[in-house]
Amino acid sequence: MNSGPTVFAQILAGIDPKEVARCAEKFPLPRQSRGLSVFDHFAAMVFAQLTNRRSLRDIEACLRTRGYRMGIRGLVTRTNLAYANENRDWQVFSEVAAVLMRRARRHYADTDHQLGLEADLFALDATLIELSLTLFPWAKWQREQASVKLNVLLDLRGDIPAFASLHEGNRHEVASLDDIPMYPGSYYTIDRGYVDFMRLHRMHRAGVFFVTRLKAGIRYYVAASRRVDETAGLRCDQTIRLNSAKGPRDYPENLRRVSYVDPESGDFLVFLTNTFTLDAILIAEIYRKRWGIELFWRWIKQHLRLRGFFDHTFNGVRVQVWTALCAYLLVAIAKKSRHIDASLYEILQIVSVSPFEQTPSEQLLMKDKTRRFNSVPNNQLTFNYL
């Protein structure tokens, strides 16, 4: 009989309980829970994410007798989970997510750079997580809508989040430029909703290269123009300077404007960047890589629990969103650390149906290599019918 750790425990091995406890020490509970430690709370919420549990009753039923085999030492009940979701500070789980982001990026550090660049390439974007205004009145966004907004800076080497923040839905995306880390020499591809020239100039001074789209109505003049290969879809490659009332003050440096026609869709796109050393066609390819974060949003919304919430409070919603991000990172870490060839989707599907199995995850996810044999072995006697 196999007495090894369960599949879920192998995924959870991406972080040590002591690390979770150290994160919790920064944000202590008003009253310590005797039956459910911070790691047990974290493990139960990650279990709910990976196995698509629908309610606290569902979580309790699954972990009541088998929680110990999953690495959970406390008593997982609806009451304990409800109290922890409502009162344990959500910032504990954002700190845990930050630890997992750093660890996951180290695991994927040997992955080749995108597009042959000698620096990291990041994509920045935000997604709305829609809520019911009746159940979540504190999250009012528009007239009859409620939501929270998740901002992520995605490292496109392995699709690993390098930074994330969660705010109310009415907070503008551009404000997240004040929060994101700046890695000098790296490339950031961002949507035109983030175009704020004062903040973009701050990125420029930090040594960061950005590629975005130029908004309509921006006033500028062309200081220089370069030849382009129109057969590749390029239309112009220009050096520009802003000449609006606030433009020269917010961004007093030169900018590069590249226009491009997508040969597949026929869309006419105008890019804005602060790098002058790359080929113009590479600027278009960098922006095309921004699609990676759209696929990331689709993945976590389809496969993790980000629609039905276990708690309707401000704190409970944030706990669930952050643990969803932690679940994604734990699966990504397990894929690299255990040398699993399967995709994140395949790993998640196996974990969701066999979390209690005590089989090495890399063995469980190994693709069978079968060979065809003759239906009748060579050493078997045969009858000759007359």
pLDDT digits (tens, 9 = 90+) for 124-151: 999 999 999 999 999 988 878 899 999 9
Residue 3, pLDDT score = 67
Q: Where are the domains of the chain?
A: 7-93+308-361, 192-289
Residue 381, pLDDT score = 52
Residue 373, pLDDT score = 43
**Taking the model in full, what pTM does it have?**
0.89
- Three-state helix/strand/coil letters over the chain: CCCCCCHHHHHHCCCCHHHHHHHHHCCCCCCCCCCCCHHHHHHHHHHHHHHCCCCHHHHHHHHCCCCHHHCCCCCCCHHHHHHHHHHCCCHHHHHHHHHHHHHHHHHCCCCCCHHHCCCCEEEEEEEEEEECCCCCHHHEEECCEEEEEEEEEEECCCCEEEEEEEEECCCCHHHHHHCCCCCCCCEEEECHHHCCHHHHHHHHHCCCEEEEECCCCCCEEEEEEECCCHHHCEEEEEEEEECCCCHHHHCCCCEEEEEEECCCCCCEEEEEECCCCCCHHHHHHHHHCCHHHHHHHHHHHHHCCCCCCCCCCHHHHHHHHHHHHHHHHHHHHHHHHCCCCCCHHHHHHHHHHCCCCCCCHHHHCCCCCCCCCCCCCCCCCCCCCC
Does position 1 have pLDDT exceeding 50, yes or no? no
Residue 7, pLDDT score = 86
Q: How confident is the model at residue 33 (pLDDT cuts 50, 70, 90)?
A: low
Mean pLDDT of 256-269: 91
pLDDT digits (tens, 9 = 90+) for 80-89: 899 999 999 9
Does position 376 have pLDDT exceeding 90, yes or no? no
Does position 370 have pLDDT exceeding 80, yes or no? no
Q: How confident is the model at residue 273 (pLDDT cuts 50, 70, 90)?
A: very high
pLDDT digits (tens, 9 = 90+) for 356-367: 887 787 777 776
Residue 368, pLDDT score = 54
Residue 328 burial (CB < 10 Å; 0-12/13-18/19+)? Answer: buried
Give the whole-number percent of the chain exceeding pLDDT 70: 93
Residue 386, pLDDT score = 47
8 Å CB contact between 158 and 164: no
Give the whole-number percent of the chain exceeding pLDDT 90: 60
Mean pLDDT of 291-297: 92
Does position 254 have pLDDT exceeding 90, yes or no? yes
Mean pLDDT of 18-45: 87
Does position 108 have pLDDT exceeding 50, yes or no? yes
Mean pLDDT for the chain overall:
88
The single-letter code of the amino acid at 182 is: M
